[in-house]
């Protein structure tokens, strides 16, 4: 018995140029894609009101070079336990913290400090101009 | 002398094409991944934003001030020629205006002083610093 089989369909599009184009697209997207997300860090400028309930107490935090800070005139290293405990206390009390950098401190160091303070729960932070040495 | 070259067989060509299909599938998957997961943005070597762990997204309607690593100020894409206060003043309406500052992370924090002073003079309460969240 003879079976009536359909003839094999002829390929209309050559696959090689298609792969070439896809590779070029892949290279383009691999090289030009950016995966880092752009975010923002909110700071209240000194002299403005944050709009949040603030206690009467104000404290001053000055970021020095080489990972040191002064909190109300007392010098700490950034990882110091006593410094972190004091910041936690300030966060609990809702005290206002005026933050400034000493001249020569990089923007990255200042942003890292502000980021850490916000993550510790300090809501009333005001950023002021740098302090000259 | 006549050289007889064997005619390419359709069968071997078909086998080659079929063995390429998994590779093409993977390439397509990679292409779709990069198209969806990544985003394309203008790159500038003059501005490398500081890194933070903040997850707040950047607002599009904000007045944007860029500070390039050579110290130049650019407000909403236009370089500032005179005083920052004169350029920023007309763009800001009300104290609830949003000002975003894009500053190179390697610069000294002193470059923020003119912006902080101007923003305070204009009565703006909040300043956003654009950062990069590393994934």
Both structure tokens of A6: 């359909």
Instruction: Indicate if the pLDDT at residue A53 is higher than 60.
Output: no
DSSP code, position A20: H
Model pLDDT, residue B43: 64
Q: Which residue has the tokens 């390697």?
A: B106
Instruction: Indicate if the pLDDT at residue A88 is higher than 70.
Output: yes
Model pLDDT, residue A24: 92
Instruction: Indicate if the pLDDT at residue A2 is higher than 60.
Output: no
Give the ipTM: 0.71
Most confident of A4-8, A45-49, B59-63, B77-81: B77-81
B61 versus A26: the higher-pLDDT residue is A26
Measured in angstroms, the CA of B5 and the nearest CA of chain A are apart by: 24
A110/B51 Cβ within 8 A: no
pLDDT tens digit string along B87-98?
888 887 776 778
Q: DSSP string of B19-84?
A: HHHHHHHHHHHHHHHHHHH-EE----TT--PPB----PBPPTTSEEEEE-TTS-EEETTEE--S-H
Instruction: Indicate if the pLDDT at residue A49 is higher than 80.
Output: no
Distance CA A112, CA A118 (A): 10
Measured in angstroms, the CA of A116 and the nearest CA of chain B are apart by: 9
Measured in angstroms, the CA of A13 and the nearest CA of chain B are apart by: 13
CA A3 vs CA A6, A8, B19: distances in Å: 9, 14, 29
Q: Does B53 touch chain A (CB under 8 A)?
A: yes
Distance CA B71, CA B114 (A): 11
Instruction: Indicate if the pLDDT at residue A50 is higher than 60.
Output: no
**Residues of chain A neighbouring B35 (CB-CB closer than 8 A):** 29
**Residues of chain A neighbouring B28 (CB-CB closer than 8 A):** 22
Distance CA A87, CA A94 (A): 10
Model pLDDT, residue A124: 83
Distance CA B134, CA A35 (A): 8
Model pLDDT, residue B1: 58
A40/B54 Cβ within 8 A: yes
Q: What is the chain B residue with the closest CA to A128? A: B116
pLDDT band at A27 (very low <50, low <70, confident <90, very high): very high
Instruction: Indicate if the pLDDT at residue A97 is higher than 80.
Output: yes
Q: Which residue has the tokens 């975003």?
A: B100
B56/A41 Cβ within 8 A: yes
Measured in angstroms, the CA of B127 and the nearest CA of chain A are apart by: 5
Residue range A97-114: mean pLDDT, rounded: 91
Model pLDDT, residue B11: 62
pLDDT tens digit string along B5-30?
655 556 666 666 677 788 888 989 99
A37/B135 Cβ within 8 A: yes
Q: Does A133 touch chain B (CB under 8 A)?
A: no
User: Does 3.30.420.270 match the CATH number of domain A53-127?
Assistant: yes
The residues of chain B scoring below 50 in pLDDT are: none
Of B27, B51, B134, the CB nearest to A23: B27
Residue range A91-111: mean pLDDT, rounded: 89
Q: Does B26 touch chain A (CB under 8 A)?
A: no
**What is the 3-state secondary structure of A28-71?**
HHHHHEECCEEEEEEEEECCCCCCCCCCCCEEEEEECCCCEEEE
Instruction: Indicate if the pLDDT at residue A54 is higher than 70.
Output: no
């Amino acid at each position: 018995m003879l079976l009536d089989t359909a003839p094999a369909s002829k390929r209309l599009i050559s696959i090689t140029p298609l792969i070439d184009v896809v590779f070029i697209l892949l290279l383009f997207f691999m090289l030009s894609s950016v995966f880092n997300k752009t975010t923002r860090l909110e700071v209240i400028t000194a002299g403005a009101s944050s709009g949040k309930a603030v206690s009467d107490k104000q404290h001053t935090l000055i970021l020095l070079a080489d990972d040191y800070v002064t909190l109300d005139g007392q010098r700490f290293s950034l990882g110091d336990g006593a410094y972190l405990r004091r910041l936690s206390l300030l966060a609990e009390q809702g005290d206002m913290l005026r933050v400034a950098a000493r001249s020569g401190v990089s923007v990255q160091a200042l942003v890292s400090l502000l980021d850490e303070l916000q993550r510790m729960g300090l809501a009333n932070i005001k950023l002021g101009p740098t302090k000259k040495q | 002398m006549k050289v007889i070259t064997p005619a390419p067989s359709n069968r071997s060509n078909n086998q080659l094409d079929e063995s390429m299909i998994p590779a093409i599938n993977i390439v397509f998957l990679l292409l779709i991944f990069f198209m969806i997961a990544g985003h394309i943005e203008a790159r500038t070597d003059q501005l490398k934003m500081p890194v933070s762990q903040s997850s707040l997204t950047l607002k599009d309607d904000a007045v944007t001030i860029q500070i390039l690593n050579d110290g130049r100020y650019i407000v909403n894409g236009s370089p500032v020629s005179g005083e920052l206060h004169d350029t920023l003043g007309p763009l800001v309406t009300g104290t609830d205006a949003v000002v975003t500052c894009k500053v190179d992370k390697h610069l000294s924090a002193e470059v923020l002083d003119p912006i902080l002073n101007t923003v305070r003079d204009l009565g703006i309460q909040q300043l956003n610093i654009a950062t990069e969240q590393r994934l």
